[in-house]
Structure 1
């Protein structure tokens, strides 16, 4: 066999071997890409995203789009060829698998966590919008989750209202951990609660619950990577009673990042006129009950997804501004917001066409 032919054959076989290895060898990475964007003022799968009953609503126009990111599943094992393609693709982002699924988190666990965060973001969006409108909302601290095989299992239940811990009144979720961790592991802590069933019955009858009970639980030591502390194995959250019905109908979406856009959509439907003036506005950001907007992940992918659907303006959490400004899609204006009030002020300028003084994102923030 001629030397040149032998060399070409060897090179071809080597290339084939490398390609096979690239396809067969798994790498510890995952891919993020732009996901669907949904107008909170419109419909999704044939029904309105925001459904309000028991209060006057008004017509809207334009777009207030929430944005999403697609991610590969927890059990998907990417090969080297796919990872290289992802790195080269402009609209994809390859990240370490543990970034999306830390501590070996399963697909089921991740889905459940995202669902809980999405549900909480909806509640906070409703509260923030109604507070901005001056509509009173009743709130209280509840048991949000109870960990399996924890001291609290069977003693406390999701939905129980936490009135006090060791006799000290509980005003917000953070108070619970603060009061429990005053103890040493192995000591007892007493919760004063309104059982979930009693709370539900009282709400249904439109009365204030009066039945409380004390539950004493022996704490144990925490097992996470932080400093050892006393725990009972619950997470605390906030529940609310709204003066009228607000339902958010959007399936197959998780996480807390749509909070701001839900809040703005609710506000728009409950006020005369159009917040957007017919413009296409998209955005992202968590929101808390006080209306504070927080940062999210995948901002660069969300701006790409929004612009591809026609967005002209993108409401951006202040803490995400620097990152988003590095790769702003052409034709999209990034507007910096820290609160729902900032977003409403920006929308006022957008619908009037007076955008010279909009607080725009820059590479410095």
Structure 2
């Protein structure tokens, strides 16, 4: 029976068979051929509405969750012969149709070494600047999410894994499709890449430019400023970041004529343009320019991220560390295998994420020695983990680099505790 799921297949992940074999040691997971062919699957680092952000791997019809206490209850409440019959069937005679449970299951997902390759390409590819050799690993962690389960499949998951159940509408909110959720996750992931680059370049003291990603149709900037144009100055003041542009625009008044100096992306010409500011009535009549901006490396440098089928903001911290390691002389990792998670702001602030207990387990299963946790997630990070991997709290990119350096020296670390 073929079950619908997100479109990116397991076969596009590095060492798919090996990854699934590793997961299978703790989780009930089909073999690589089945996951990639019959059922499908997609690795997903997702950010979902509310507090439920998770680096995630989706598998169709494959999920489960249950702690040992619930497992005991299930075994006590369900006769063994009936349970075995249900596990072997996708329908119940009384109903005559496939039953789908309104829950999804979360568990540890695969990890990706951001210093390495994915699908034949460097996960982080830097051009226009000298790149320093790296060693060790900086692992981006994920959560495995399964949904669209039949009732027998859900029972099997409950009895054979330590995953956790969440209501399906937490993963796919009412009124949205799985594809729409995936698109949102991918946009979040793209934003996390830009923020990671900005934070790393600021740490390294490298120059950045502010570039127009797109303009809002019908806004003052639309048709005057083009995607790809660099913003040089606003109202006569030089700018070096999207934040600076936003602050200068907000210092104006709606309806005011604004002068912006741009460097055209197609000709390189620098010129002044003018347009009338609109009004953002959703934010207290704030002046609105109608530009979406991103920070990009200056002087022809480029940082490209090549990890398809992934979404959400929680890889930001690890991405920033990988960029720093590639551009700063010497080895950041010291040859150690380091993992972590957390959002990254352009100023280097690390933010909380969801699903961290599963990410910690995924990192440990992959052999990580040190795990970097956002400070706000610290207690949750070790709530289900008592293994040998060291789990430390970090609040910024500087904290993370300092923790890695201290770990290499064998110094005392600010570890997470329950």
TM-score range, shorter chain: 0.7 to 0.9
Matched residue pairs, number? 325
Please state if 1:283 is matched with 2:304. Answer: no
Tell me the distance in 2 between the aligned counterparts of 1:269 and 1:176: 34
Aligned twin of 2:302: 245
Please state if 1:201 is matched with 2:266. Answer: yes
Aligned twin of 1:342: 399
Give matches, 1:47-66, under 5 Å.
Answer: 47-66=121-140
**8 Å CA contact retained: 2:221, 2:275:** no
Cα distance, 1:60 vs structure 2: 1.4
Aligned twin of 1:38: 112
**8 Å CA contact retained: 1:23, 1:80:** no
Q: 1:210 aligns with which of 264, 271, 275?
A: 271
Cα distance, 1:260 vs structure 2: 0.9
**8 Å CA contact retained: 1:32, 1:69:** yes
Cα distance, 1:240 vs structure 2: 2.7
SS, match of residue 111 in structure 2? strand
Tell me the distance in 1 between the aligned counterparts of 2:167 and 2:179: 19
- Residues 4-51 of structure 1 show CA distances to partners (whole Å, capped at 9, x for unaligned) of xxxxxxx97xx8796866983333222223222111112222232222
**8 Å CA contact retained: 1:83, 1:94:** no
Tell me the distance in 1 between the aligned counterparts of 2:400 and 2:318: 10
Tell me the distance in 1 between the aligned counterparts of 2:261 and 2:310: 32
Aligned twin of 2:141: 67
Larger radius of gyration: 1
Cα distance, 1:106 vs structure 2: 1.9
* Structure 1 range deviating more: 80-89 or 252-261: 80-89
- Residues 236-283 of structure 1 show CA distances to partners (whole Å, capped at 9, x for unaligned) of 443334332222222221111111111111111112221111111111
SS, match of residue 294 in structure 2? strand
**8 Å CA contact retained: 1:86, 1:93:** no
Please state if 1:94 is matched with 2:149. Answer: no
Tell me the distance in 2 between the aligned counterparts of 1:96 and 1:238: 35
Give matches, 1:278-357, under 5 Å.
Answer: 278-328=335-385, 330-352=387-409, 354-355=410-411, 357=412
TM-score (structure 2 length as normaliser): 0.65
**8 Å CA contact retained: 2:229, 2:265:** no
Aligned twin of 1:265: 322
Cα distance, 1:85 vs structure 2: 4.1
Please state if 1:112 is matched with 2:186. Answer: no
Change (3 A) 1:18 1:40: same
Tell me the distance in 2 between the aligned counterparts of 1:100 and 1:288: 24
Q: Which runs of 5+ in 1 are unaligned?
A: 1-10
Tell me the distance in 2 between the aligned counterparts of 1:143 and 1:114: 18
Change (3 A) 1:60 1:199: same
Change (3 A) 1:171 1:257: closer
Tell me the distance in 2 between the aligned counterparts of 1:343 and 1:220: 37
Tell me the distance in 1 between the aligned counterparts of 2:258 and 2:103: 44
Tell me the distance in 2 between the aligned counterparts of 1:287 and 1:100: 23
SS, match of residue 367 in structure 2? coil
Cα distance, 1:171 vs structure 2: 4.4
Cα distance, 1:234 vs structure 2: 6.4
* Structure 1 range deviating more: 283-292 or 128-137: 128-137
- Residues 158-191 of structure 1 show CA distances to partners (whole Å, capped at 9, x for unaligned) of 66778779xxx984576599789x97xxxx6877
Aligned twin of 2:417: 362
